[in-house]
Amino acid sequence: MEDIDNIEEDEYGFSRNYFLAKELGGSSKKSARKLSDINIVDEQELRETAFNIETKHEKEIDEILDDYKTKYPKWVFELRCGFGLLMYGFGSKKALIEDFASSSLTEYSVVVINGYLPSVNLKQVLLAIAELLSELLKSRRKSSGTPAKGQEALPSRSIDDILSFLHGSQSEDKDCFICVVVHNIDGPALRDSESQQTLAQLASCSHIRIIASIDHVNAPLLWDKKMVHKQFNWLWHHVPTFAPYKVEGVFFPLVLAQGSTAQTAKTAAIVLQSLTPNAQNVFKILADYQLSHPDEDGMPTEELYSASRERFFVSSQVTLNSHLMEFKDHELVKTKRNSDGQECLNIPLSPDALKQLLLDLSQ
């Protein structure tokens, strides 16, 4: 009864706050001042300063982290009992989780997935995990003396095949598993339902334990009951650290920075490196064209297709479109129509940034 009352009260509080905020917006005159009224410092300087901000309360933050260290044995126990750990609370939990993994999980292999990056290829992750697991099972069998079964051959066909390989691998030893750390399981690269389903299926394998962090307040909406209770099997831990989101924030624009050349060139390079060589080559053609035709609106799609096809980077319009879709998703390429009505592709970077990017890619 008490709980129900509490919930109702919370809900009431929530709606009251919401309407108060709405009312405030309606009654009082909205402030019309512009962002441009602030004398914004040079962007480069802003970035540099932002990068070097001194962390407040460093001592207290260290104390908090030390305090969490006393919970490590409990967390290990929970993992060994078959649960997944889900860390939440304000502040970057990257250092905390990796410290936990490297100090308390030395008996187990640990794979780290950086979910805060704009793109993560889950198939490659699964393959790496499958390799580790088959290695592990092999060594266990050797030590226990049971003969190896003929299932070691790793499938490399599809995500489903790898998952069924992971599910199929059995060992008597219940305490034999691989820990998968997922920083920001609610991150941009993993936010779609397909990735979450894949991760959930991975988590439900008997030899896998997941330790994940979330930062977004609505992250639980990513999962249905089956995923929460049967697959991820989460145990929640509220571990605010107040540590700065240094790495996690790299891919977010600064609110006071208008054009963001330097940053996007860097992020673009990271995104491109995660794509296939053919996709990178197609991007290079586009970039070369843009550098050599600075006055045009962009490269017509047909032209890009014929140029890429000539060099055997794509075999059909369909493959090109899939590359383009990938570029557009990560905002590497924008389309617009030129004066002739043709569809043109344009990379939204300054020529300097583009040159730097090409240089980075060729390294």
Partner 1 sequence: MAPSTTIADPQPSSTTDSSNSNAAAAENDIRPFFVLHKASSGKKSTGTVRAKRRIDSPAPKLAKKSEIESTEVEDGEYFSTLRLKVFETVWSKIDKTIQDVLRDSHSKVFSGVHDWICESFESIRSCGALSLSEAVRSYPVLSQPSSKQLFTALVLTRNLEMVDDLLTFEDLGLHLKSQGCHVGKLSSMDFSTKNGVGGCLRGLLRQFVMPTVDVADVTILASWYRENGNHNNPVVIIVDDTERCSGSVLSELILILSEWAVKVPVFLIMGVSTAHDAPRKILSANALQRICATRFTLSSPAERMDAVLEAVFLKPCSGFTVSHKVALYMRSYFLSQDGTLTSFVKTLKIACLQHFSLEPLSIMLEHFCQDNQPPGEGTGLLTEATMKHAFDLPSVTRNKITRSTCEMLPQFLLDLQRMPKPWSIVVLCIYEAGKFDKIRLIDVFCETLDPEARYLKYFSPSASLNSQSHVSGRNSVIRRVLRKLRDFSPAQLSSLLKSWESLTAEFSEISDKVMELHPLMRNVEAAGQRPGLPSSPKKHASRSHSKLEKELKAMTDKVSAIIEFMLREYMKPVETVPFNEILCYKNVDKLQSALLGDPRGRIQSDLLESYNILHCMCCSQRGTSLLPSMHDTSILYTLAQEHADVINLHDWYQSFKTILIPRNSKAKLKSKTCSKSKKRKDRCEEPEPEQPAEASIQARFCRAVMELQIAGLIRMPSKRRPDYVQRVAFGS
User: Under rule CB under 8 A, which residues in 239-298 are in contact with partner 1?
Assistant: 240, 242-245, 247-250, 252-257, 270, 274
Q: How many residues bind partner 1 (CB under 8 A)?
A: 129
Q: Which is nearer to partner 1, 254 or 307 (CB)?
A: 254
**Interaction residues for partner 1, span 172-191 (CB under 8 A):** 174-175, 181, 189
Nearest to 108 by CA among 205, 176, 202, 166: 176
Nearest residue (CB) to partner 1, 80 versus 167: 80
Cβ of residue 208: shortest distance to partner 1, in angstroms?
A: 13
State yes or no: residue 236 binds partner 1 (CB under 8 A): yes
User: Least CB distance from residue 116 to partner 1, whole Å?
Assistant: 8
CA 107, distance to chain mean position in Å, is 27
Give the N- to C-terminal CA distance of the chain in Å, as an integer.
65
Selected binder of partner 1 within 93, 125, 146, 303 (CB under 8 A)? 125
Q: Is 30 exposed, middle or buried (0-12, 13-18, 19+ CB in 10 A)?
A: exposed
Joined tokens for residue 215: 């930062």
Site residues for partner 1, 21-50, by CB under 8 A, read 21-26, 28, 30-35, 37-41, 45-47, 49-50
The CA distance from 183 to 198, in Å, is 16
Q: How far is the CB of 133 from partner 1 (least distance, A)?
A: 11
Q: Give whichever of 26 and 341 is closer to partner 1, judged by the CB atom.
A: 26
Task: Identify the H or E element spanning 344.
Answer: strand 343-346
**Any contact of residue 128 with partner 1 (CB under 8 A)?**
yes
Report the greatest alpha carbon distance in the chain: 78
3-state secondary structure of 237: strand
Minimal distance in Å, beta carbon 18 to partner 1?
4
238 vs 254: CA distance, rounded Å: 28
Footprint on residues 42-101 left by partner 1 (CB under 8 A): 45-47, 49-50, 53, 56-58, 60-66, 69-74, 76-78, 80-81, 83, 86, 88-91, 94-95, 98-99, 101
Amino acid identity at 311:
R
Ordered DSSP codes for 64-122: HHHHHHTTHHHHHHHHHTTPEEEEESSS--HHHHHHHHHHH-TTS-EEEEETTSS---H
Q: Which of residues 299-358 bind partner 1 (CB under 8 A)?
A: none
Binding-site member from 134, 198, 204, 233 for partner 1 (CB under 8 A): 233
| Type of residue found at 361 | L
Q: Of these, 84, 130, 132, 134, which contacts partner 1 (CB under 8 A)?
A: 132
Applying CB under 8 A, the span of 225-233, 285-293, 330-338, 345-353 interacting with partner 1 comes to 225-233
